[in-house]
Amino acid sequence: MASTATRIGKVELASFVFNAIGPKDVTLDELRVIGKSSAAAIATKSCTPLPRDGNEEPRYRDLELGSINSMGLPNLGVDAYVELSHTIKEEFPDKPLIVGAAGIGFEDFPVVVEKLQKSAADMLEVNLSCPNVKGKPQIAYDFASMDKTLKTVMSIGDKPIGVKLPPYFDFVHFEQAAEVLSKYDLEFLCCVNSIGNALVIDPETEAPVIRPKGGFGGLGGKYLKPTALANVRKFYELLGDRFAIIGVGGVYTGSDAFEFLLAGASAVQVGTVFMQEGPKCFERIDKELAEILKRKKYASVEDAKGKLKML
C-alpha cells in the first residue's frame, strides 16, 4: 500500500487527512473524539481573547452539495485552550496539535498568539479569513492589514505559525497575497475558508435557512471544491515549496484528496463531511487515497504532489 504520510513544515503527519478548524472542535470532549480517530492531527477551534457564544441559532444547515454556516467564532476563549492543549497532548502525545488563533479586531491577535506560546500546540493556525463575524471585514482581503497582522504575530515567540486564507478569485489578488505572505517565515498556508456571504433560501418557508446576518453565511462542501483547488494550485505555482499548503473545501473522498495533492497540497482538512459523517471519515478518505496512489504507481504522496498535468 502506498504511504500517505506527509509533513507540514517540520511536523510529521502519519497520514494525509485531518479535521478542519471549525466543526466539532470546540470542547475537550470533541477534541478527544478527533484524537481517538484516524485523523493525522488534532485541530482546535479558532480562539479569541475571551469566550464567545457566537451568532444566534439556527446558524448551520446541511445542503444538497455541502453546507452553509454563520457560526460567529463560538469558542471557550484562549485561556481555556492553553489549558486543554496540555491535556490533549498528554492523552495523544503522538498526534500533532494545531490550535486556531483568531481575533475580532487587529488588537486581539497579538494577545491570543502570545498566550498560545504557553500552550502545548505543535503549530498555530492564525485565522485571517472568518467571514461570519458581524460588522468585521476579513483581514486577508485587505493586504495592508494582513501584512500588519503577520508582522506583529510573527514576532511573538517561536511556535510555528500558519495562516487560514479566504478564497481569492482574481490572479492579481493571488499575486498581491503571495507578495505579502512571502515576507514571513510561515509554516503553512491553509486554503481555503468558506466562500463568504452566500445566501440559501427555502422556497417553502420563503425564508433563509440560517438566521444570522439576514441569512448570509459561509458556503462549504462540494460547492467550494473548485475554488479551493484553484487557490491551492495558484499559491503552489507562485510560492512552490516555500510553504506547505493544506487544502480544505469539498474533500469527501480519496479522489477529492488526490486532486488537492495533484494541485500541490501537502495535506487536506475536512469540515462538512466530518459534520455529516463523523470521525470515521478520516480513515475512509485516507484509505481511498492510498488505494489511488497504489493504482497509479505512486509510492508516496510526495511522489504525486503538484504533478498536475497540463492539457
Domain range summary for the chain, segments of one domain joined by +: 6-54+73-194+222-304
Q: CA angle 30-33-35, nearest 5°?
A: 110
Helix (H, G, I), strand (E, B), or coil: what is residue 111? helix
**pLDDT confidence of 124, banded at 50, 70, 90?**
very high
With a cut of 80, say whether residue 134 has pLDDT above it. no
Residue the block writes with cell 471585514: 137
Contact of 212 with 184, CB cutoff 8 Å = no
**Residue whose C-alpha cell reads 515549496 in the numeric block:** 241
Cell of 253: 473522498
Residue 275: its pLDDT value, please? 96
Helix (H) or strand (E) holding 219: strand 216-221
Q: Is 42 helix (H, G, I), strand (E, B) or coil?
A: strand
pLDDT at 55: 96
The pairing of beta strand 244-248 with beta strand 267-270: parallel
Average pLDDT over residues 26-36: 98
Q: Which residues pair with 81 in a beta bridge?
A: none
| Average pLDDT taken over every residue of the chain | 97
Q: Which residues have a catalytic role annotated? A: 130
In this predicted model, what pLDDT tens digit does every residue of 279-300 receive, in sequence order? 999 999 999 999 999 999 999 9
CA distances from 32 to 38, 39, 91, 246, 271 (A): 12, 11, 8, 22, 16
Q: What pLDDT, on a 0 to 100 scale, did the predictor assign at position 239?
A: 97
Q: 159-184: per-residue pLDDT in tens? A: 999 999 999 999 999 999 999 999 99
Q: Which residues of 133-158 are buried (b: 16+ CB within 10 A; e: fewer)?
A: beeeebbbbeeebbbebbeebeebee
CATH number of 6-54+73-194+222-304: 3.20.20.70
- Burial bucket for residue 285 (CB in 10 Å: 0-12, 13-18, 19+): buried
User: What percentage of the chain exceeds 90 in pLDDT?
Assistant: 95
